[in-house]
Amino acid sequence: MTILSGWFQRLSILAADNKGPWGSGSGSDNGGGDSGGPRNPWAQPPGGKPRGVTPGPSALDEFLKRARGGGGGSGGDGGRPRIPGAPSAGQLWVIAVGILLVAWIALTSFHSIGPQERGVVTVLGRYSETLEPGIRFTLPAPFVEVAKVDVAAINTDTFPDDSSTVTAGNDTDKLMLTSDQNIVDLDYSVRWQIANPQDFAFQIARPRETLRATAQSAMRAVVATATLDEAIGAGRTAMEVKVQQAMQEILDRYNAGIRIQGVAIKGAQAPAQVADASRKSQPRSNRRKATSAARVVMRSRCWPSTG
C-alpha cells in the first residue's frame, strides 16, 4: 500500500505541472511554446505544416514540369519534353500556314513587266486590263492571271516552213500560178510583231496559224496578177509591197493585233519539173528548125527563081 500511494502522489504532481516527458503541454502542441524540454514528435512542426502532409514541388520540379509542357503525360503533347518558351504544336501549324499564305501572295500578286513587255490581265478568264512596264500588283492566282506579251520582238515566218520537210509532190505551198498561166516556185518570208496585246490574246484563237494562212492567200492573189517575168525579175519588189498591204488589211479586219513589218521574196524560179521539160524540148525544137532551114535551101537549089 505504501508503494502504491507513492506512485499516485507522483502522478498527481506530474498532472499538476502539466508536463510530459517531452516538455510543457501549454502551447507546445502547436510547436510554439518554450524550449524548456524535448518537443513532442507527434505535434505540429515549427513550420506550421502538420506531419504527414506531402511538401510542395521544388523549383527543379517546376522547371521539369514546364519542360514537359504541363507534365503528367496528359497534356496535348503526350508528355514529350519541349524547350521552355517554345511554341506549341498548334502555334507551329498557324505559323506554317501564315508563311505559305505570304509566299502565295508574294509569288502570284507581284509581277515584273519588262520594258519590251505588256501584261495581259484576266480575272476569272475574262480580260481586265493591260499592265505597263514595272512592278505591278494584282489579286493572287487563281483568281487573276497575267500573260506577258513581248511587243518589241520582230517575228519571222518563212514559206515554206523551215521546220517541215518539203519533198517532191508535197511542195504545193511554194507553187503559184501567174497571170500568163505559168507556174512559179516562190520562197518568201514575212516579218511581223504584236501591235495590240489584248487583241492578239483574245480576238484570234490561233494567231500564228492565222498569220500563215493570210500570207499564203495574199501572195497567191498578188502572183495571179503578175507575169512569170515579173515574178522572177524586176517586178518582185512591187509584189512584196502589195502582199504586205493585202495582209495588213485582212488582219486589221479581224482585229488580230498584228503589224506586218515586211515581206521578202527570197527565191523565184520555174519549178524543177517545168525546167526539165523545157530543157528536153529544146533539142527537138532545134532539130525542127534545122530541118526546115535545110528544106528551104534544097528548094532554092532545085527550083531556081527566074527573073
Tens digits of residue pLDDT in 21-30? 555 554 444 4
- Asked if 154 and 191 count as a contact pair (C-beta separation under 8 A), the reply is yes
pLDDT exceeds 90 at position 14 = no
Q: How confident is residue 297, by pLDDT bands cut at 50, 70 and 90?
A: very low
Q: Which of 42-51, 202-211, 271-280 has the highest mean pLDDT?
A: 202-211
pLDDT digits (tens, 9 = 90+) for 75-103: 445 555 566 667 788 888 999 999 999 99
Is pLDDT of 59 > 80? no
pLDDT band at 195 (very low <50, low <70, confident <90, very high): very high
pLDDT at 172 > cutoff 90: no
Task: Give the angle subtended at the CA of 65 by the CAs of 63 and 68, to the nearest 5°.
Answer: 110
In this prediction, residue 238 has a pLDDT band, given cuts at 50, 70 and 90, of very high
Confidence grade of residue 41 (pLDDT, cut at 50, 70, 90): low
- Mean pLDDT within 187-214: 94
pLDDT at position 33 over 80: no
Q: Is residue 165 very low, low, confident or very high in pLDDT (cuts 50, 70, 90)?
A: very low
Q: What percent of the chain is predicted at pLDDT more than 90?
A: 50
What pLDDT is attached to residue 73? Answer: 46
What cell was used for 44? 505540429
Please, what is the angle between helix 236-253 and helix 207-223, to 10°? Answer: 140
Other C-beta atoms closer than 10 Å to the C-beta of 285 total: 10
Q: Which residues contact 198 (CB under 8 A, 6 or more apart)?
A: 120, 127, 130, 257
